[in-house]
Amino acid sequence: MRKGIFLKLIAAFVVVILAAAVTFDVTLGTGWQASLRTEIERNLTQKTQLLAHRVETDRKYSLSDIAAQEGKAAGARVTIIDSSGKVLADSETDPSAMDNHAARPEFAAALSGKIGRAERRSATVGVPFLYIAVPISGGAVRLAYPLSDVEAVSLQARHTLEKATAIAFVFALIVAAVSASWSARRLNRIVEVAARIARGDLQARISEASHDEIGRVASAIDATARHVEQSFAAVRSSQRQLETLLNSMQDAVIAVGPDGLVQWASQPMDRLVPRGARLHQPVVETIRDPDFLAAVKDATTSREVKTVRATSIVPGRAYDVTAAPLPGGGAVVVLRDLTETERVEKTRRDFIANVSHELRTPLTSIQGYAETILDSAPDGGTPNREFLEIIRKNAARMSRLTEDLLTLARVESGETRFEPESVPPAELLHDAEESFREIARTHGVELQIQEASRNGDTPIPNLRSVLADREAIHQVFANLIDNAMKYGASGRRIVLGARSIPHAVEFYVQDFGAGIGSEHLPRLFERFYRVDKARSRESGGTGLGLAIAKHIMLAHSGTIRAESELAHGSTFLFTLPTA
């Protein structure tokens, strides 16, 4: 690892040094050579101008002598032509043997009155030259400076620059190697500490004192490790608290991952199954109950809470299984032992049913004897007659109460067997209306059926048939209509109706009386709950009618609820599944 970091850093340094050396060599060499050429061209131009001045003013020497003298003094070749391009004198070659020079670029510019410049290899000498031509009266003069000396000087300078670059490269390479080795050691230490943190050693620290980029990275890793250590300690503390809480519960808890493996189980769960929960193994190896497994699967796939009743986890015991989805997939399942609760509930129901049954005979006797004495007692409002009337009323009320208790106990326990059949909703409504029409009339209340749904949807005769036990639903209507006549008679009207909802039909009984306060609505279907207790007793109510209706609806897989607003009447609604 360390060797790899070192080699990579050395390679990076070598690339940077080479790039810098090449750039320095190219830019400096090219710039120096360009500067040298510019200086040569400037000096040669000045010398050519001086030559032109002497050619025009010197009458002592011939053109050939002037060319020879100036060429020697300037270290350059001198050529003098006339306006037609004919060579008049040359410092190195016989003019008569030379071609016409009027077409040469530098002479062409000079003959037009400008200073001409050109660079090319001489066809006569075979050496590259820099040519400068200046116009004179009746022609032009030219100096040609050989560039072979410039190339030689440039080559020598390049060799010197390359040697200096090589020395600088070796020195820089040594510095880079030392720096790379130092950086590699620092980086390797950071990598080692990071690996220790990844293995779970959250107390590992780098403790880098430098404040450069590597030092800042090390400080950031140290800060992250401290934060992770604190967070992990908090998570472990929360996990221990949660485990303690779950282990102290009487209910068994088991967590199942998205792969179906057991992730965690509470101590009650270990005691529940014979060999204990098998962690990191398929949940079916711990609990084989099909209802339990189906609840876990449904909660995992649908991401919704599922509740089922399982009876084969432990022989002879029943459990309420609630499976809730976990955020990362899988489900957590809580198993509550219902055996004792169901035993107590069954005992309570049996007790209520037995007591109610045993009370029926003496209450009937009391009521019968009270009525017999009342029939034989003289009229006139004597105190004895009033007492007998009170005895008769209370005996009748107790008789109704025992009958309702017995009915509720039978419905709750499942002793009462309902026989659902396909029934048109219109028939259920008309049966209820016919049965209570006369009773409602004696109370001064009009009982009617609303033939169309409240929202103007499907008319009642066209509604789909529902699955219902006629007698049981008739009893639900009886309880709801009886309540409407007792507490909503002030509205003088009771409306029955039904409307279609998805997969069911919703029936309703609506009155237009005083209404019920919103604080009472959630508890209306509890046993013995009364909104106005005094009025309920006066009317002979037992407080069990709505509770009986609720359990009948539960047995039909339906629901029941109430809607009301003070001074605007009440509406009781219940649903039955369509056939």
How does residue 1 score in pLDDT terms, banded at 50, 70 and 90? Answer: very low
**Structure confidence at residue 461 (pLDDT):** 81
Domain residue spans of the chain: 2-152, 250-337, 341-413, 421-577
Domains 250-337 and 341-413 share a fold: no
Q: Of 513, 510, 509, 508, which Cα lies nearest the Cα of 487?
A: 513
Which of 113-117, 228-232, 247-251 ranks highest by mean pLDDT? 113-117
Average pLDDT over residues 355-380: 74
Tokens 């749904």 label which residue? 453
For domain 250-337, the CATH superfamily is PAS domain (3.30.450.20)
| Record: fold of 421-577 | Heat Shock Protein 90 (3.30.565)
3-class state of residue 563 by DSSP:
strand
pLDDT tens, residue by residue, 31-75: 767 777 788 888 888 888 888 888 888 888 888 888 888 888 888
Q: Of 103, 99, 153, 119, which Cα lies nearest the Cα of 44?
A: 119
Tokens of 109: 């510019």
Integer CA distances (angstroms), 117 to 101, 143, 556, in order: 14, 10, 114
Q: Of 124, 131, 127, which Cα lies nearest the Cα of 152?
A: 127
Residue 353 burial class via C-beta count within 10 angstroms: exposed 0-12, middle 13-18, buried 19 and up: buried
Q: Which has more pLDDT, 433 or 38? A: 433
Instruction: Tell whether the torsion through CA atoms of 267, 269, 272 and 275 is positive or negative.
Output: negative
The torsion region of residue 570 among left (phi > 0), alpha (psi -120 to 50) and beta comes to: beta
Q: Distance between CA atoms of 82 and 182, rounded to whole angstroms?
A: 76
Q: Assign domain 341-413 to its CATH architecture.
A: Orthogonal Bundle (1.10)
Query: Which of 102-111, 349-358, 429-438, 460-469 has the least mean pLDDT?
Result: 349-358
Q: Of 73, 74, 107, 105, which Cα lies nearest the Cα of 88?
A: 107
**Structure confidence at residue 38 (pLDDT):** 82
Which helix (H) or strand (E) element contains residue 408? helix 383-413
pLDDT tens, residue by residue, 121-145: 766 666 788 889 999 988 999 988 8
Residue 91 burial class via C-beta count within 10 angstroms: exposed 0-12, middle 13-18, buried 19 and up: buried
Tokens 């259920």 label which residue? 428
For domain 2-152, the CATH superfamily is PAS domain (3.30.450.20)
Tokens of 288: 């084989």
**Half-sphere exposure of residue 224: CA atoms within 13 angstroms, side-chain side:** 12
Amino acid identity of 569? Answer: G
Which helix (H) or strand (E) element contains residue 136? strand 128-136
